[in-house]
Amino acid sequence: MIGIFDSGVGGISVWKELYGLMPHQDFVYVADSAYCPYGRKPEGEIIERAEKISKFLIKKNADIIVVACNTATAAAIKYLRLHFAVPFVGMEPAVKPAIAESKSGTVGVLATAGTFKGSLYLNTRTKFAANVKIIEQTGDGLVELVESGKIHEHETKLLLQKYINPVIAAGADHLVLGCTHYPFLIEAIKEITNNKITIINPAPAVALQTQKIININNISTSKNLGTNIFISTGNIETMKMLVRSINPNISEQNFIMQNI
């Protein structure tokens, strides 16, 4: 059983890659939508939520937990690894591949305030970005729009333009998506940038890392039935829409509202 959690529905973009790679695995996904967004919450509060959800997933027989949230990874993954025996996979800042591939020497990063303050991002930037210009853009409001299902709305495109136009003007040829909600906005980003910027989504690499850790730890998959359960602490309608855009065959009974 693979447990996954995020501050809301954004981690569905990570489940999509995990499901595509391991369709016969069993998954339990928790969207902490009642407490979303995490981006500007105090670190202690994020750790408390991450701990509660991790305990819940372990009670659901999770053998490995994917923290499908950049902010929660930055704030809580060290704590989780110290306090639980199961392996944890976090969201790695995808700045390194963007820097390696950049021709202009300028890379944009769209993320939450919590991600930019986290040691994972700061260490990666310090280590790899000495000779590259990094344009950091905090995407305030984007998580809330995705949570509301307003992925294709005009107001979402206007807000994206506000954040992305300075990145383009600075000469960036790569844009790193530093929040798992943002991959649902890729089509809008492509439209705004006229496909002239390479978008880096870390979710495929996280899925591969999860599969690698499953193999390293000899986590048995022999009894898996390919079950997918989606739980939200808040509204579940956007989650249903996003999941069914990936797999229309997920049944109504697989979506649950539950306090955690």
Q: Alpha-carbon distance 63 to 132, whole Å?
A: 39
Does the annotation mark 179 as catalytic? Answer: yes
User: Which two three-digit tokens encode residue 211?
Assistant: 């599969």
Does the annotation mark 69 as catalytic? Answer: yes
Instruction: Give the number of C-alpha atoms closer than 13 A to the C-alpha of residue 48, restricted to the C-beta side.
Output: 6
Quick one: three-class SS letters along the chain?
Answer: CEEEEECCCCCHHHHHHHHHHCCCCCEEEEECHHHCCCCCCCHHHHHHHHHHHHHHHHHCCCCEEEECCHHHHHHHHHHHHHHCCCCEECCCCCHHHHHHHCCCCEEEEEECHHHHHCHHHHHHHHHHCCCCEEEEEECCCHHHHHHCCCCCCHHHHHHHHHHHHHHHHCCCCEEEEECCCHHHHHHHHHHHHCCCCEEECCHHHHHHHHHHHHHHCCCCCCCCCCCEEEEECCCCHHHHHHHHHHCCCCCHHHEEECCC
Q: What are the backbone angles phi and psi of residue 235, rounded to the nearest 5°?
A: -65, 140
Catalytic residue among 179, 188, 189, 242: 179
Catalytic residue among 69, 151, 177, 242: 69
Any bridge partners for residue 34, and if so which? Answer: none
Q: Alpha-carbon distance 61 to 87, whole Å?
A: 13
Q: Which residues are catalytic?
A: 69, 179
